[in-house]
Chains A and B, each alone.
Chain A
Amino acid sequence: MIHIPILRAGRSYKSLTTVDVPHVKGGEPVARVSQANQGLIAKDLHSVDQNWRALEALTVSELLVICKEAAQLFAETELPLDGASQSPDDYVHCLSATTGMPESLCWKNMAKIRVVLEELEAILGGLTRGLDLSVLDEGWGVQDGRHLSYVPQTEALGAVLPNNSPGVHALWIPAVALKTPLILKPGSLEPWTPFRISQALIEAGCPMEAFGFYPTDYSGSSEILLRSGRSMLFGGGTTVSPWKTDSRVQIHGPGQSKIILADDTIAGWEDYADLMVASVAENGGRSCINASGVWVPSDGKEVAEALASRLSRIEARPLDDPEAGIAAFPNPEVAHHMSNLIDSHLKVPGATDITAMVRGTERLAQVDGCTFLLPTVIWCEDWQHPLANTEFLFPFVSVVEVPQTAMLERIGPTLVVTAITENRKFRRDLTNSLAVDRLNLGPIPTNQISWDQPHEGNLFDFLYQQRALQIEPRR
């Protein structure tokens, strides 16, 4: 069986505690993953300054070259995996087998990661607003005639990572070029991507000390968040809630992303049907940037019916089917529980499952030994209904009818809003809204990412702080 080790400053460590990661189809173990005990993580984080020095010795330019080379290695070559090797095909098979994501989507996510590694220079340009990155090599520099200095805020970036989509790993990759070692805690079902990215970067010449990879439990994750000067935390509401007030932790929590049509655009809603379908269903509807809400001032039921008609065409297919568009649930009980929860909420007046009427079949589907939840569109007459502002790990969307004047006070925290309106005042209200994290003005799918416009915080600002610097001229 494949063994995935812990990486301690890049060096493999086989733990006596292991967890088997099962195949979504049948539950046979696909890999055995070494688990780090809390004390081991704490000990390694205690000496992370040595790892920082190893990475700091390279210039940003050198690291960007390494990332570019790693892009090709990640996507095209065999990479080391605990004494054996893993091809891109192996990677995709394993990734699909343990997460339930169709292989076709795994390939797409792989391509996204490749792009990020290749285009890191442009991404850093966006993150730093065009800063001459040699400032990070020297500690200071001169730009537009002014002294600039940046001080690193941490000797390592912790990342407690999710299972939902491999594409999210693109968010921590820039840390390498920003000279910040990583302490990665992979999702329990998705050790594959962070391990492979790390191996690609090491193979490309990045100091191995830059990579800590610690599959671990709840207490180990807490240790990473407590000990790292800066961390990213991915998770649901209850996972991220205790860390919301810790400024050292960047939260990547629930998205509840939405598309908003306004009074001036609702009449032409049919023009945006493709946008809505893509926002809800691309990547299997598993990302926090997938839309889980479409908020309209009128015509809600018609919009819901049209969406249901389109989305109900998406079928559950075997994971190796090139046309597969939705992911299987690794734990079928979760799918049953989720579906039952939706049904129980539907007993509360004010919401209707339109897809159930259009499709005429159950939401839960069994195909090729896997359990799926089929796309679901809910028409919510009441914005306070329990299904009006929620999200699930499959293509699920609620169409909610709310007067435009009341929308922004009712949408609640929303990761991405795609607002389709030309109304200047409403646009201004949207840009002023604290509820909105990432704002797309115009018909841009919620899941369309511009890498130089990171949502949920700017990694450069998170890892570095500008400091005042005065230097006496040499005489």
Chain B
Amino acid sequence: MEILNQPLSQKVNDARVQLDTHVREIVGWHFNRETGSPFWLEFADKLDFDPRKEIGGYDDLKLLGHFQDEWLRGGPVRRWVPKAYADEPVYVFETGGSTGIPKSRISIRDFQIDYEIYSETLSDGGFPYGSDWLMLGPTGPRRLRLAVEHLAQHRGGICFHVDLDPRWVNKLINYGKHQELDLYKNHVIDQALNILRAHESIRCLFTTPKLLEALCEKISLKKAGIRGIFCGGTEMNAQFHRFAREELIPGIDFVPTYGNTLMGLACCKPFDLADNYAIIYYPPQPRAVIELVGLENTEETVEYDQTGRVMLTTLTKEFFMPRFLERDEAERARPIENYPWDGVENLRLLSELTESVVVGVY
């Protein structure tokens, strides 16, 4: 067994070395007066140490504490733009915001890079090069809208869109307006059906679990020519995964994905019936890390197969977000050949929040 495991353990060690090297590079970039962002330079001024000297790897990021989501609410948003990119065109993407001020994240090319890396994981059979896409998910000031379009373009296709405002959906749910919610869902689905009927070149679909269910009630996606579905945007569990593969879209390449405006895109472990439809995500390390920490003690990593709170770290030259405590929990999954670093299984809202957070049609 040791011999068999050796290549994976070697890969795990190599990945860890690469991560620590990457951390030093990113910390060196963001805390450098020539290249760093105003936010992190001001942050460094208040520290009694120089992060570039003290942070030698991922574990040392603890010295910076936890990234606070309040820092992303409100402006000036340019304080997040690294000086090295001051003259580049800047996108701003929002997350949250059904009530109050949303969190904003700036991006220059990160969203494109993340989706180009992700593209490498898609099969040519399910997502044929040159095929057109339908993006049936949240639009507006969201990263997904442009990112999926870029993915389609990167793979030689054109992306069609349907407008969808998830904040309105959340409000309808909170107001108990079920009938209006159903009307809105039908309005969205009707538009998707029109696009699918009008453009036979569409072979690939991005959508959310609930919209996929709604769409499949109206049409056989297989008969409509869909070959691959990239599904994400909201929580997905093993039961939905099984239902999708067995009943909604048998024969179509189904790729569950965990996207996050602040982190990027985590890929799903390739489907294996032995996993009993468990959805196991792996972050795009070293550009981002997901660590599962104790629900009580967020300074400790939980053991494999144990439940922990999701802690995200984003490590790109555009955006540095160390040790951000997400509102999700999961079980810690072991490294695999394709992704020789920790993954997360059964990702879901923190149990303590399940009463207060709604997941609508999007």
Contacts and interface: CB of A to CB of B under 8 A. Distances in A.
* Chain B associates with chain A: yes
Nearest to A226: B182
A37 B243 contact: yes
Contacts of B241: 16
Contact of A16 (B210, B214, B217, B239): B239
Given A38-B210, A225-B178, A17 B239 contact: yes
14 contacts: A16-B237, A37-B240, A37-B243, A38-B213, A39-B240, A40-B247, A42-B217, A43-B213, A43-B217, A43-B247, A238-B176, A242-B176, A242-B177, A243-B178
Interface in A312-336: none
A39 B248 contact: yes
Contact of B213 (A42, A225, A243): A42
Interface of B: 175-179, 182, 209-210, 212-214, 216-217, 237-243, 247-248, 276-277, 359
Contacts of B176: 238, 241-242
Nearest to A18: B239
Contacts of A16: 237-239, 241-242, 276-277
Contacts of B178: 222, 225-226, 242-243
Contact of A219 (B177, B237, B242, B359): B359
A15 interface: yes
Contacts of B216: 39, 43
Contacts of B239: 15-17, 35, 37
A40 B246 CA distance: 11
A227 B182 CA distance: 10
Nearest to B176: A242
Contacts of B359: 219
Contacts of B214: 42
A46 interface: yes
Interface residues of A, number: 20
Contacts of A37: 237, 239-240, 243
A43 B250 CA distance: 14
Contacts of B248: 39, 43
A42 B240 CA distance: 13
A299 interface: no
What is the predominant secondary structure among interface residues of chain B facing chain A? helix
A461 interface: no
A76 interface: no
Nearest to B240: A37
Nearest to B177: A242
Residue of B216, B240, B243 ringed by the most chain A CB atoms within 10 A? B243
Contacts of B182: 226
B162 to A, nearest CB: 19
The 7 closest A-B pairs by CB, nearest first: A39-B213, A242-B176, A17-B239, A16-B239, A16-B238, A222-B178, A15-B239
Contacts of B209: 39
A448 to B, nearest CB: 34
A302 interface: no
Contacts of B277: 16
A162 B248 CA distance: 31
A246 interface: yes
Given A16-B237, A35-B239, A38-B213, 9 more contacts: A16-B241, A37-B239, A37-B243, A39-B209, A42-B213, A43-B213, A225-B178, A226-B178, A241-B176
Contacts of B247: 40, 43
A241 B174 CA distance: 12
Contacts of A222: 178
Contacts of B212: 39
Contacts of A38: 210, 213
B179 A246 contact: yes
A37 B240 CA distance: 7
Contacts of A35: 239
Contacts of B238: 16-17
Contacts of A238: 176
A226 B240 CA distance: 20
A35 B179 CA distance: 23
Contacts of B217: 42-43, 46
Contact of A39 (B179, B243, B276): B243
Interface string A7-24: 000000001110000000
B242 A226 contact: no
A17 B213 contact: no
A246 B180 CA distance: 12
Given A16-B276, A226-B182, A40 B243 contact: yes
Contacts of A46: 217
Nearest to B242: A16
B237 A17 contact: yes
Chain B CB within 10 Å — which of A38, A39, A242 has the most?
Answer: A39
B231 to A, nearest CB: 12
Interface string A283-306: 000000000000000000000000
A241 B216 CA distance: 30
Interface in A31-61: 35, 37-40, 42-43, 46
Interface in A223-253: 225-226, 238, 241-243, 246
B134 to A, nearest CB: 19
A43 to B, nearest CB: 6
B310 to A, nearest CB: 20
Interface string A75-111: 0000000000000000000000000000000000000
B282 to A, nearest CB: 21
A38 B359 CA distance: 12
A396 B243 CA distance: 45
A17 B348 CA distance: 12
A77 B331 CA distance: 43
Nearest to A238: B176
Nearest to A36: B239
Nearest to A17: B239
A39 B248 CA distance: 9
Contacts of A219: 359
